[in-house]
Structure 1
Amino acid sequence: MSQPRAILLLADGTTFHGKAAGKIGTTTGEICFNTGMTGYQEVFTDPSYYGQLLVTTNAHIGNYGTTSVDTESGSIKIAGLICKNFTVPYSRHLAEASIQDYLEGEGLVGISDVDTRAIVRHIRTRGAMNGIISSEIFDLAELKRRLDAVPNMDGLELSSFVTTPEAYTLGNPDATYRVAVLDLGTKQNILRNFLKRDCYVKVFPAKSSVEDIMAFLPDGLFISNGPGDPGAMDYAVTTAQGMLDQEKPLFGICLGHQILARAVGIPTYKMHHGHRGINHPVKNLITGKSEITSQNHGFGVSPEAIAQNLDRVEITHRNLNDDTIEGIRVVGKPAFSVQYHPEASPGPHDAAYLFDQFIDLIKEHQAVRA
């Protein structure tokens, strides 16, 4: 199949020429890369990637096609795709469509046949930055004009674009446990992990009040993953503080981890190029065991601030690549969080215990109240 040409322009002026992938058009966002060798459709539909141009480091994208069961939300959430080999023919009997048909159907613009290794090395050196992909505009001056109008991720609130518009429930109303989820951009497999542990789940919009959430009479509270800068989400921080006041078990993942940290006075910061992949080693400081984890975040929790506030926050997990904070517990509260994604099955089950830990905390809380 002959593909039209396409161009990628980065904010620092670096240009890459390749071929169009997906829809013919123009798209912008912050460029980032993911090192996973499989799971491209799960990544495309992860709400945490909203507003980002994704570079896939695996050489072939599309070789096993696409299927509706491999999605983490109702639609593609990345802003654009950048890959090396865009493989339209596929060899998977469960697949429902080719990568090209899938991207065209979702209206996603992409570029292929570019040196993704060079792009990744550039991001690792220069840091995350905005970019523009186009398969219809090739005037660099016009592309730069459009790119200059794109806001930086630092300071950008995005959860309100991907959260559920209305609260909804999942599971059996007579289940053993009731879990309230604050949806900042939750993945479907997180919800499935709760359902498999005999939970009746109610998912609430990002800007729900604590009063609305507690009217569900939950046994446990959860703050989900999601996109954007946690420093621009005072509304979620206020909700998290109200959740902590309820003295109920509270669990946070990724953005939920950052929001929980900010709720107890620990700031977050923009990382140089973030962590995105399914092979990040993390050490559990409580058990001494290490885990292979799945990660997707461009912001982190300040280790310096935690070191000065050990009476409020205990570090439970650290990244073995760069020593960043990967997990915390709130001192004196039944609340904990991790920066990585236990529901993504890395390892493949290294981090699944975190959901069991949350359920155990609910059981302990119920036993004390009984």
Structure 2
Amino acid sequence: MSLIESLGMAALRRIDPETAHGLALRALRLGLAGLPGPVRSDRLAQRLAGLDLPNPIGLAAGFDKNAVAVAQLMRAGFGFLEVGAATPLPQPGNPRPRLFRLTEDRAVINRFGFNNDGAEAIAARLARPRAGGIPVGLNLGANKQSADRSADYAEVLALCGPHVDFAVVNVSSPNTERLRDLQGRAALSALLRKVMSARAELPHRIPVFLKIAPDLTEDELAELVETAQSARVDALVCTNTTLSREGLKSANSSEAGGLSGVPLFEKSTRVLAQVAALSAGQMPLIGVGGVASGEDAYVKIKAGASAVQLYTALAYRGLTLAARIARELDALLERDGFASVAEAVGTERSAWL
């Protein structure tokens, strides 16, 4: 991290975290953040559900909810980006404060509640010309007051799908009441049928991913994997934030919402390995939860992930973190004699089971 970035991070940590997040996005859009550019190597290149990634380090949903800084984020060292979540209609989300730093734990609790500008505004931004080479996807959500939440996902995909490279069905956020109920077999099957029907109407086929919660039982995981495979979901994102508060030290640890960051690493990696075993390695997985270094990314890849995503660590280690992680991962793969990321996927899955 450069001196300028270090000073900027120190200043942002002195103010309300949601305000700081907004300022970070504004700095990106104004070109005030020094960006490292794409990180590429033959060893890091990865193919994920038909997408060609220059490296397997992705940006998780939530950082750029409204797709306002896509062009700038494409130069931040990531191998792919996910924006959103988007809902059909704009909604303000839950009342503030709704984002809390847990500095001692290197974690965050949020209860945003799918605040966003709505699918039409987000689609217009995603339709703007952008440089190629870095796939951009959208996290699909449902409005809080919707009478048919499963239809909401299909509607967002219909509006925004022509302008993205992949879509992620998010039924695992803990911050919209009863949303996680959609992970049950019957509800999820019906939802995915509507989403896949909407995809069939798009001008080009895009992969559809499903983002799951880390708080499911083994039986619930098995049912979910079977349902996703039956619906021909292209990949699973493991995992969203957790409701667990085990072992936290920070003052804000009792706040309601989803916990992300370092405390989620072990839990999410164990779920990732379980899902890899349940799917017999036949479904690509994206590992999310607590990734803050090249070693973290490497652990998730060896547990079964074809790619990883991060978000919370950016609040502690800066916007150039993705590039640093990619370079660290490249060195680790080389050290262990892997010619590619794909060769390392799942090589230590059994250690997590």
TM-score (norm: length of structure 1): 0.33
Of structures 1 and 2, the one with the larger relative CO (CA 8 A, separation 6+) is: 2
Q: Which has the larger radius of gyration?
A: 1
Higher helix share goes to which structure? Answer: 2
TM-score (norm: length of structure 2): 0.34
Higher strand share goes to which structure? Answer: 1
